[in-house]
């Protein structure tokens, strides 16, 4: 039995009549850009996460950029991001005109290590962007405390963590702003690109919305120069159908992670990811570590099981940051994760049989034989 890394078509089939009707209604009403579906989604998503405002936009990368512009980031400012994330988290700092500063991650949660913040905060630091990586919340209480001590803003990058919680409080409600991606493979995915910024401050929300819409909230009335970053009606209509199912999908991911935990606990030379105490992770990705990663990856591939590397290089070691001349020992945890991490299939529609197949194949892995 082959097990794909993800199966977006299967999710479509579970909601086909509703999705087809939603798409048809957008076409029939020509509600392509903004319109009632977008407004309904903004209201519903803000309510789901628990913030006052949701500004939808074209993708999660723009959401980060727009949030930083809204917070007034300017050249000379420094913004701290974790050394392991998707490139959007760091590239948008540069795009907003500021200087990106990397901080290593915590070995248990793989998210920004608040204990290391004091090493990277300078008098030019203006903000921190923790990432709830793989669906595991960053240590927001500690990060917010450090930010308050130094007068810094915090933007939570929630692209991988819709509905994740810390002590019953949803991620996205801790910082000055939170950004989400609805890229098709995300826990809540559109059928194209889509994203959003969430916040509680009405003035910040207004600035961000204005910037996203060519600098004006009324047609022809451009108060500032902005960009064009809007969620389209088709994506919003699709997300409106999917949003009510997100809780059940997250619970299914949690069940699958628990089953992996049980099935793989005794396997030699494999370290499993764990949710830290008090945290409800939503398992966007299930990333295990092994010093024999390359052999394990080949073993899974030869048995028809999809895997991925998230991510093959930690951010400071990407060619685009070669100018910073970082060495592995500057970010040892992120560096090792990139060397050893392997994502195995986890998606809400995954069956128990598929999960058992992945467990059996990994249990049959013998690094010395395979390596
Ligand atoms: C951590 C993280 N931040 C930001 C993004 C950017 O989202 P998008 O692909 O919608 O631009 C992604 C997803 O790709 C992500 O995983």
10-residue mean pLDDT profile of the chain (371 residues): values are: 97 98 97 96 98 98 98 98 98 98 98 98 98 98 98 98 98 98 98 98 98 94 96 98 98 98 96 95 98 98 98 98 97 98 98 98 80 46
Domain ranges of the chain: 8-244, 246-365
Q: How far apart are CA 294 and CA 337, in angstroms?
A: 13
The reply to whether ligand 1 has any atom less than 6 angstroms from the CB of 60 is: yes
Kindly state if the Cβ of 180 falls inside 6 Å of ligand 1. no
82 pocket-lining for ligand 1 (C-beta < 6 Å): no
Q: Which residues lie across from 195 on neighbouring strands?
A: 57, 181
User: What are 35-69's pLDDT values in tens digits?
Assistant: 999 999 999 999 999 999 999 999 999 999 999 99
Please report the pLDDT score of residue 219 as a whole number. Answer: 86
Tokens describing residue 7: 């199966």
Give pLDDT, residue 259.
Answer: 98
Residue nearest to atom 12 of ligand 1 (CA): 159
Q: Which CATH class is domain 246-365?
A: alpha beta
Length of the chain: 371
Cβ of residue 310 lying under 6 Å from some atom of ligand 1 = no
Q: Please work out whether the CB of residue 85 comes within 6 Å of at least one atom of ligand 1.
A: yes
Q: Whose CA is nearest to atom 7 of ligand 1?
A: 60
Query: Tokens at residue 272, please?
Result: 């499993």
The pLDDT value recorded for residue 23 is 98
Q: Is the CB of 131 under 6 A from ligand 1?
A: yes
Q: Is the dihedral of CA 292, 294, 295, 299 positive or negative?
A: positive
Say how many Å lie between the first and final Cα of the chain, rounded. 24
Question: What pLDDT is attached to residue 370?
Answer: 46
| Cβ 347 under 6 angstroms from ligand 1 | no
Site to substitute for ligand 1 among 134, 157, 181, most atoms within 8 A of C-beta: 181
Q: Is the CB of 61 under 6 A from ligand 1?
A: yes
pLDDT at 198: 99
Report pLDDT for 366: 83
Ligand 1 centre and the CA of 311: distance in Å?
Answer: 13
Question: The dihedral of CA 206, 212, 217, 220: what is its sign?
Answer: positive
243 CA to centre of own chain? 17
Q: Which CATH architecture has domain 8-244?
A: 3-Layer(aba) Sandwich (3.40)
CB 232 within 8 A of CB 92: no
CA 131 to ligand 1 centroid distance, Å: 10
pLDDT at 368: 65
Q: Do domains 8-244 and 246-365 have the same CATH topology?
A: no
Count of Cβ atoms closer than 10 Å to residue 225 Cβ: 9
**308, two tokens:** 């991925």
Tell me the CA–centroid distance for residue 179 and ligand 1, in Å.
Answer: 9
pLDDT digits (tens, 9 = 90+) for 128-172: 999 999 999 999 999 999 999 999 999 999 999 999 999 999 999
CA 112 to chain centre: 13
Query: What is the reported pLDDT for 369?
Result: 56
Q: Tell me the β-bridge partners of 82.
A: 103
Strand partners, 178: 156, 198
User: CA 321, 324, 329 angle in degrees (round to 5)?
Assistant: 100
Which residue is associated with the tokens 């939503």?
282
Burial of 335 (0-12, 13-18, 19+ CB in 10 A): buried
């Amino acid at each position: 039995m082959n097990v794909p890394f993800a199966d977006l078509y299967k999710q479509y089939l579970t909601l086909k009549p509703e999705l087809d009707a939603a798409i048809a209604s957008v076409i029939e009403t020509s509600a392509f850009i903004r319109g009632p579906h977008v407004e309904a989604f903004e209201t519903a998503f803000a309510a789901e996460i628990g913030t006052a405002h949701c500004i939808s936009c074209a993708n999660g990368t723009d959401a980060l950029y727009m949030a930083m512009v809204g917070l007034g980031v300017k050249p000379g400012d420094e913004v701290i991001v974790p050394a392991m994330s998707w490139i959007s988290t760091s590239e948008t700092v540069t795009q907003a005109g500021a200087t990106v500063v990397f901080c290593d991650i915590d070995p248990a949660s793989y998210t920004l290590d608040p204990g290391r913040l004091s090493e990277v905060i300078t008098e030019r630091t203006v903000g921190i962007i923790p990432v709830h990586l793989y669906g595991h919340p960053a240590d927001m209480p500690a990060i917010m405390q450090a930010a308050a001590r130094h007068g810094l803003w915090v933007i939570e990058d929630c692209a991988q963590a819709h509905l994740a919680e810390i002590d019953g409080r949803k991620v996205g409600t801790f910082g000055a702003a939170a950004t989400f991606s609805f890229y098709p493979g995300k826990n809540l995915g559109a059928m194209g690109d889509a994203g959003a910024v969430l916040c509680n401050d009405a003035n910040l929300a207004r600035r961000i919305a204005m910037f996203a819409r060519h600098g004006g909230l009324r047609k022809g009335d451009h108060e500032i120069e902005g960009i064009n970053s809007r969620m389209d009606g088709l994506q919003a209509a699709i997300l409106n159908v999917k949003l009510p199912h997100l809780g059940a999908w997250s619970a299914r991911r949690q069940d699958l992670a628990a089953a992996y935990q049980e099935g793989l606990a005794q396997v030699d030379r494999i370290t499993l990811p764990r949710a830290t105490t008090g945290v409800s992770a939503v398992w966007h990705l299930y990333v295990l570590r092994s010093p024999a990663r390359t052999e394990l990856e080949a073993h899974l591939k030869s048995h028809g099981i999809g895997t991925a590397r998230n991510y093959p290089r930690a951010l400071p070691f990407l060619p685009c940051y070669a100018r910073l001349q970082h060495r592995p020992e500057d970010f040892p945890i992120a560096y090792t994760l990139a060397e050893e991490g392997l994502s195995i299939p986890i998606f809400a529609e995954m069956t128990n049989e598929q999960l058992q197949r992945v467990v059996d194949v990994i249990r049959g892995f013998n690094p010395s034989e395979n390596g």
